[in-house]
Structure 1
Amino acid sequence: MSQKFQRIVVIGGGSAGWMSAVALATGLKERVSVEVVESEDIGILGVGEATFPSIRNFNQLIGIDEAEFLRATHGTYKLGIRFCDWLDVGSDYFHTFGHFGTLSGSQALWAQHRRMALAEPLGMQCLPTVMAMRGCFVLPGDQAEFKYAYHFDAVQYAAFLRQLAMRRGASRTQGRIVDVARRADGAVTAVLLEDGRRIDGDFFIDCSGFHALLLGRTLAEPFVDFSHWLPVDGAWACPCERRGDGITPYTTATALEGGWAWRIPLQNRTGHGHVFASRFIDVERAREQLLARLDGPAVAEPRLLRFKTGHRERFWVHNVVAIGLSAGFLEPLESTSLYLIQDGIGRLMTLLSEGRPLDDEARTDFNEGSVRRFARIRDFILLHYCLTRRRDSELWRHVASMPLPETLAFRIELWRRYGVLHEYDEDGFDASSWLAIHAGMAHWPEREDPVLTEVPRQRALAALQCRRDAIAAAVERMPEHHRMLHHVLTARPGRSR
């Protein structure tokens, strides 16, 4: 590691702050000191989290036992997302973390499925989609055809990581930051607290949320605004009582008049929220629509969150790197917030661990990689909007006609004309995920590849039937999600995966 940084200060707690701290304390051990500065007066944003499968990799790398984690955070398993009313009112499809067999050539199952003009959804060819439809769950084996993620309480996750990070040597300072000290060259040297304390550091990680205390307010790094593509700018969040034993192993995202509503099932409650665009719907009307969707009695007053989609031009400036909301925000439609946090931490840890000089070149590589990752996920989220057939409100008329980023327009054109699922470097979502959205939104290529006819029709139909039957038989033997979850939570230590 570069000897320039001996003391790393993390500004802000929450998921971003304590994920950063525990990664540093675990990966760098005695080589640096790690101090987290957070204020309980400010609190954290956490409203419940639906996640991406990469969160499992993060938890495993820092040595978290899955059952312990699920117990501490009231967590449940997540196979993917169910999208309701996105194509048309009454439509329904899943994007789960699985695949659809071969994706290219004459054996491409999706293309043969389309060629056969089958009435059943393509999702019947995807194991975790059928699992989700039937409310089942098992932990995948070594040759698994799917991945999984979690739903959990973000506040409890931050508290869980805080205890772990402090056991591994990180320190915690409570206090409100009122000023920032800098050198003549612009680098930050310390933060000053309301009670007069001074916290010095060599390197600072800004996890201060939308405030972006260091990167935004102190270093005045400009913001790249995505709101002309992603117009949502607010969300109401409200948990309610969970009713009955059934816990769906998926998030639900339902398109509404001025945005969309989430439903995230936890062990002890169900999280609900309404992400909306205030230029297309009144804030109070959005609140009323959320409350009308609750599964049971609310257990807290609805919270209003305001935001702007986009990111800072640079994520790392001088000796400050932003992680989490201080770096940028993309609406939570595909549960990528923690993925972006984890990705930033992972790339930073690689630099710190390998001892590469943390110079202008390293910062440029980090910044350019971050910008690309935000752009790739932005395009994937936009795909859900731009393929809609809905014209029943101002929002849906707007998103159906708005100009698209060139990167997304190119991918859509390749698919529409030639059935090619183009992939870029540093994509957050693979070709199977893009296929799930195209299929769910009934967006198919304009013509079939002639090579498909090399497979006789009956053989193609038999292959589709065989895979569908094998999936159905496998799911038939699986336990319901809540039963599997109970088994994991009550297993003896060391037996959970």
Structure 2
Amino acid sequence: MAPRFDRIVVLGGGSAGWMTATAIATGLRGRSSVEVVESEEIGIIGVGEATFPSIREYNRLVGIDEREFLRATNGTYKLGIQFCDWLARGRDYFHTFGHFGNLSGSQTLWGQHRRVGLTEPLGLQCVPTVMAMNGRFALPDEKDPQFKYAYHFDAVQYAAFLRKLAIERGARHTTGRIVDVVRRADGGVAALVLADGRRIEGDLFIDCSGFGSLLLGRTLDEPFVDFSHWLPVDSAWACPCERSGEALTPYTRATALEGGWAWRIPLQSRTGHGHVFSSRFIDAERAREQLLAQLDGPPVAEPRLLRFTTGHRRRFWVHNVVAVGLSSGFLEPLESTSIYLIQDGIGRLMTLLTGGRPLVDADREDFNEGVARRFARIRDFIVLHYCLTRRRDSALWRHVASMELPETLAFKLDAWRRHGMLHQADEEGFDATSWLAVLAGMDHWPERDDPVYAEVPYERAVRALQSRRHGIAAMVERLPAHHRTLQHVVG
């Protein structure tokens, strides 16, 4: 008989826990109870978050007004990520949430750009890249969007905002120290036992307990699939600082350093900084010094050290336990996918819970296989940023430039080098345009041009590229600065 999930228990607050609880309280509308159990032992990572455009869809589905969201979370707009010093020192590029257009047929603008020998960045043919480079931002026309956008926000404030919303919609909030997990006869979880003797029973448990993975990892002992062979970073220093006089940039910055990379995330009242690094290639104290050197204002807190292993649990739904967020796995935040992976897990779960039919074992299998493929696809995209580097000035960069790649990534790169084909598989986290942005930014191109590009006369191709570039530049020049748009929205 298919299981019933009348009582759903979410272990852990933070972004993962309260995003899950808000989605359940909103989507099930009282058909199942939802209770969030927060424990001081679990804690909240709580660094500033940079996100992926999908966050807007989550907010829309649970009925969050953008103005209220930005006010409550100290949020700003994000058009993409500026990558500094990844290809070589002094070489920058943007990965933005737009497209590069075409001249005739799909995906040919980049081919003509290469064919006519333009030395300017391909990004000048992309609206949000030019907006970001000039510090401009205006909301896109929803009827004919030229680009997508995401946000930067304070993760602790976002969790508090969602907690209020979830409780208003019927979620219960329980705090206490967990001292025991009671198992069922079939191996699943029956209840959480708190230090004061309370027993929190449930039919379905959502593990949002962070890196500790209290239920899926520690209780059910689900094995971990380690990605550190390809993604050797395992630590991060995080430190916010005061806002400086620098313009409120509508993008995240990721700067490659000796043993890793540093992030910069601009919020309304402060700037989030961090240094993700590999303890195998750099000492933690030296990494801390390098982080402090990146700050563009006085620190407002002491740097905090986080330790992690990149990878994921082999399965994500075992018995009646589903892991969402860090308890399911972690990929370094280079492409701002942490919230995206939370949302992806919630979306898959809600599809099953609201599907109107009993769940069977095959549903759990599909869930597990789909999430695993999603992790693998995003892993490949992150590894792409490392493996194409021309840097050889430190041990980390020599390692990533020579390491054996995942077969799925090696195949994609071979298809691109040989044929200029941006191969896409199922469960991709990033579309072909995103892959093109990184490949172009890392100056990695096919070995030969597609002969069809020559069907467009040379002079016509040059005129079309110049016309598009000038048109984009003129349009962006008329747009307001990012901080002006933000002031208008939040009041």
TM over 0.5, shorter chain: yes
1:16-415 maps to which residues of 2 (within 5 A)?
16-40=16-40, 42-102=42-102, 105=105, 108-141=108-141, 142-244=143-245, 246-415=247-416
2-11 vs 371-380, which deviates more? 2-11
Shift in alpha-carbon separation, 1:367–1:107, aligned structure 2, 3 A: closer
Shift of 1:450: 0.9
Distance of 1:106 and 1:204 partners within structure 2:
45
Q: Do the aligned residues in 2 keep the contact of 1:255 with 1:261 (CA within 8 Å)? A: yes
Aligned to 1:428: 429
- Give the whole-Å Cα distance in 2 for the aligned partners of 1:460 and 1:448: 15
| Segment drifting more, 459-468 vs 162-171 | 459-468
Question: How far 1:184 sits from its partner (Å)?
Answer: 1.5
Deviates more, 1:378-387 or 1:100-109: 100-109
Q: Which amino acid aligns with 1:235?
A: A
The residue number in structure 2 matching 1:487 is 488
8 Å Cα contact 1:10-1:37 kept in structure 2:
yes
Structure 2 residue 418 is matched with structure 1 residue 417: yes
1:495 — aligned with what?
Answer: none
**For residues 107 and 26 of structure 1, what CA distance do their matches in structure 2 show?**
40
Amino acid at match of 1:10: V
2:6 aligned partner, one-letter code: Q
The aligned amino acid for 1:46 is G
Change (3 A) 1:106 1:324: closer
Q: Distance in 2 between matches of 1:246 and 1:357?
A: 53
d(CA) in 1 for partners of 2:170, 2:69: 20
* Distance across 1 between alignment mates of 2:53 and 2:261: 23
Residue 438, structure 1, aligned to residue 439, structure 2: yes
* Post-superposition CA distance 1:11-58 (Å, at most 9, x none): 000000000000000000110100000024542001100000000000
SS at match of 2:294: coil
Do the aligned residues in 2 keep the contact of 1:251 with 1:263 (CA within 8 Å)?
yes
Secondary structure of the residue aligned to 2:173 is strand
Distance 2:204 2:163 in 1: 20
Compute the TM-score of the two structures, normalised by the length of structure 2: 0.98
- Secondary structure of the 1:31 match is coil
Partner of 1:493: none
> CA distance change for structure 1 residues 103 and 351 in 2, over 3 Å: closer, same or farther?
farther
Shift of 1:481: 0.2
Q: Hey, what's the Cα distance between the residues in 2 that align with 1:108 and 1:224?
A: 38
Q: Is the 8 A contact 1:107 1:455 kept in 2?
A: no
Matched residue SS, 1:257: coil
Paired residues of 1:106 and 1:452 also in contact (CA < 8 A): no
How many residue pairs get aligned? The number is 489
Give me the whole-angstrom Cα distance separating, in 1, the residues matched to 2:107 and 2:243.
Answer: 44
Query: Retained in 1: the 8 A contact 2:264–2:271?
Result: yes
Unaligned runs of 5+ in 2: none
Q: Matches of 1:254 and 1:333 in 2, distance apart? A: 10
Alignment partner of 1:274: what SS? strand
> Is the contact between residue 106 and residue 451 of structure 1 (CA under 8 Å) also seen in structure 2?
no
Contact 1:236–1:273 under 8 Å retained in 2: yes
How far off is 1:274 after superposition?
A: 0.1
Q: Note if contact 1:103-1:110 (Cα within 8 Å) is conserved in structure 2.
A: no
Distance 1:438 1:107, change over 3 A: closer
The Cα shift of 1:104 comes to 7.9
> Could you report, residue by residue, the CA deviation over 1:241-277 in whole angstroms, capped at 9, with x for unpaired residues?
0023720000000000000000000001000000000
Q: Partner of 2:95: helix, strand, or coil?
A: strand
Question: Residues 10 and 17 of structure 1 are in contact (CA less than 8 Å); yes or no, is this contact kept in structure 2?
Answer: yes
Do the aligned residues in 1 keep the contact of 2:131 with 2:137 (CA within 8 Å)?
A: yes
Mapped partners of 1:374, 1:322: distance in 2? 14
Moved over 6 A (4+): none
1:454 and 2:455 correspond? yes
- SS state at 1:438 partner: helix
**Residues 147-175 of structure 1 deviation map (CA, whole Å, 9 limit, x = unaligned):** 00000000000000000000000000000
How far is the alpha carbon of 1:355 from its aligned partner? 2.6
Residues 180 and 193, structure 2, Cα contact 8 Å, conserved in 1: yes
Q: Residue 434 of structure 1: CA displacement?
A: 0.2
Would the aligned equivalents of 2:252 and 2:266 in 1 still touch at CA under 8 Å?
yes
CA distance in 1, matches of 2:80, 2:124: 14
Is structure 2 residue 487 aligned with structure 1 residue 474? Answer: no
The one-letter amino acid paired with 1:172 is H
The one-letter amino acid of 1:92's match is D
**What is the one-letter code of the residue matched to 1:211?**
G
Other structure's SS at 1:292 match: helix
Alignment partners' CA distance in 2, 1:21 and 1:35: 8
2:310 aligned partner, one-letter code: T
Contact 1:106 1:454 in 2 (8 A): no
In the TM superposition, residue 359 of structure 1 has moved relative to its aligned partner by 2.2
- 1:421-450 residue CA offsets vs partner (Å, 9 max, x unmatched): 111111110010000000000001111111
> In the aligned structure 1, how far is the partner of 2:106 from the partner of 2:409?
26
SS in structure 2 of the partner of residue 437 of structure 1: helix
CA distance in 1, matches of 2:365, 2:488: 47
Find the residue that maps to 1:192 and give its secondary structure.
Answer: strand
Q: Unaligned regions of 5+ residues in structure 1, if any?
A: 491-497
1:494 is matched with: none
Q: How far is 1:102 from its partner?
A: 2.6
Residue 263 of structure 2 aligns to a residue whose secondary structure is strand
